[in-house]
């Protein structure tokens, strides 16, 4: 099995008037070809910033990748020049954004927005690109593809727009698709359809997938591996099965307990995590989760825990791993 993406000690920071926001703070992960990796965590923990860092789309000012390395398909992305990165974006890595309502250009037709990447990366003629665009729309389940191409984004519903975004992301046969909460903005019935579509397409086309979500149900169903993020760091990682069966970080445990599970008796009541996610510009010393953690001890306020193995390829960053394991 070959490694497609290897992120090492990535740090991305935003300089705001009030503080230095360490949105991504020493994140490392690898993605094997053909696999699906889920990035999970509460709002504001740095999931989107991680994804945008891989695409090198962090807006400067105020944001900047300050250190680390991102090796994609053997190429160090952080060493590329801007125009070289332009050959990776859209061609090798496709991205689906969190906000389908605003991610399409309101004054260009859907067709034009699909064909421009095809013309740029695959050197297609306008005619061929149009044919291919129609085929892509059919692939993502948009009926009446030919006439839809001439329409504008406002003539599409949210779910349809997200399908267009997916079509765009896969249009140039990328090796990797990054889907940043592709369904958060959609209503529940549409969510499942869009996710199924992504799963089906990536499997059929052999594309690797990074799926960002805060829905653990999505993880269980669609991901091979999981990275759980908290305050800019990965605090637990492992295969989806391992993390489900044996959550080793109190935060992961908390996440699992805060959603209803079909594999548990109904009598078990929900137990959401107390408190608010921390302010990334002003983190407490030690473990960032410690103020909300029911297992916290003295040490957690002083030393920052690092990832340690808790099983085959399963790691967690917590000083109280043994207590957490004993408790469930």
Ligand X SMILES: Nc1ncnc2c1ncn2[C@@H]1O[C@H](COP(=O)(O)OP(=O)(O)OP(=O)(O)O)[C@@H](O)[C@H]1O
Interface ranges with other proteins (CB under 8 A): 55, 57, 59, 82-83, 85-91, 94-95, 97, 99, 102-108, 116-117, 120-121, 152, 154, 165, 168
Q: Where are the alpha helices (DSSP H) in the chain?
A: 47-55, 82-88, 110-122, 126-139, 145-148, 158-170, 188-205, 216-222, 240-245, 250-257, 321-327
Contact call for residue 48 and Mg ion (CB under 5 A): yes
CB of 15 to ligand X, least distance (A): 8
**Terminal-residue alpha carbon distance, the chain:** 34
Contact call for residue 63 and ligand X (CB under 6 A): yes
Q: Count Cβ atoms below 10 Å from residue 28 Cβ, excluding itself.
A: 16
- Under rule CB under 6 A, which residues in 232-291 are in contact with ligand X? 280
Given the complex with ligand X, which of 14 and 29 has the nearer CB atom?
14
Contact call for residue 48 and ligand X (CB under 6 A): yes
What is the maximum span of the chain, computed from C-alpha positions, in angstroms?
67
Indicate the pairing of strand 314-316 with strand 308-311: antiparallel
CB of 276 to ligand X, least distance (A): 12
CB of 230 to ligand X, least distance (A): 10
Given the complex with other proteins, which of 185 and 240 has the nearer CB atom?
185
CB of 98 to Mg ion, least distance (A): 5
Query: Which secondary structure element, helix H or strand E, spans residue 63, and what is its range?
Result: strand 63-72
Contact call for residue 316 and ligand X (CB under 6 A): no
**φ and ψ at residue 213, rounded to 5 degrees:** -160, 160
Contact call for residue 320 and Mg ion (CB under 5 A): no
Cα 277 from Cα 185, distance rounded (Å): 21
The residues that touch Mg ion, with contacts defined as CB under 5 A, are: 48
The residues that touch ligand X, with contacts defined as CB under 6 A, are: 14, 16, 21, 23, 41, 43-49, 59, 62-63, 98, 181, 214, 280
């Amino acid at each position: 099995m070959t490694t497609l993406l290897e992120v090492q000690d990535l740090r991305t920071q935003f300089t705001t008037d009030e503080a230095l926001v360490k949105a991504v703070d020493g994140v490392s992960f690898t993605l094997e070809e053909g696999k699906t990796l889920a990035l999970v965590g509460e709002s504001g923990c740095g999931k989107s910033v991680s994804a945008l860092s891989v695409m090198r789309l962090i807006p400067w000012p105020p944001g900047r990748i300050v250190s680390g390395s991102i090796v994609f398909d053997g190429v160090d992305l952080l060493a590329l020049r801007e125009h070289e990165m332009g050959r990776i974006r859209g061609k090798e890595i496709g991205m689906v954004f969190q906000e389908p309502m605003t991610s399409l250009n309101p004054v260009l037709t859907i067709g034009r927005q699909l064909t421009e990447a095809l013309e740029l990366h695959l050197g297609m003629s306008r005619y061929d690109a149009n044919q291919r665009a129609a085929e892509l729309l059919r692939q993502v389940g948009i009926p009446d593809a030919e006439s839809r191409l001439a329409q504008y984004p406002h003539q599409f519903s949210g779910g349809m727009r997200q399908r267009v975004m997916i079509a765009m992301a896969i249009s140039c046969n990328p090796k990797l698709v990054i889907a940043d909460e592709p369904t958060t903005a959609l209503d529940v019935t549409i969510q499942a359809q869009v996710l199924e579509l992504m799963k089906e397409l990536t499997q059929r086309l052999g594309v690797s997938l990074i799926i960002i979500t805060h829905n653990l149900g999505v993880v269980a169903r669609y991901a091979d591996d999981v990275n759980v993020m908290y305050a800019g760091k990965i605090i637990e990682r492992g295969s989806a099965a391992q993390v489900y069966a044996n959550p080793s970080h109190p935060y992961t445990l908390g996440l699992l307990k805060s959603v209803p599970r079909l594999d548990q008796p109904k009598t078990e009541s929900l137990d959401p995590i107390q408190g608010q996610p921390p302010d990334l510009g002003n983190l407490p010393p030690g473990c960032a989760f410690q103020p909300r953690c029911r297992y916290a001890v003295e040490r957690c306020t002083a030393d920052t825990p690092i990832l340690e193995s808790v099983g085959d390829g399963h790691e967690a960053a917590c000083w109280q791993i043994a207590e957490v394991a004993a408790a469930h």
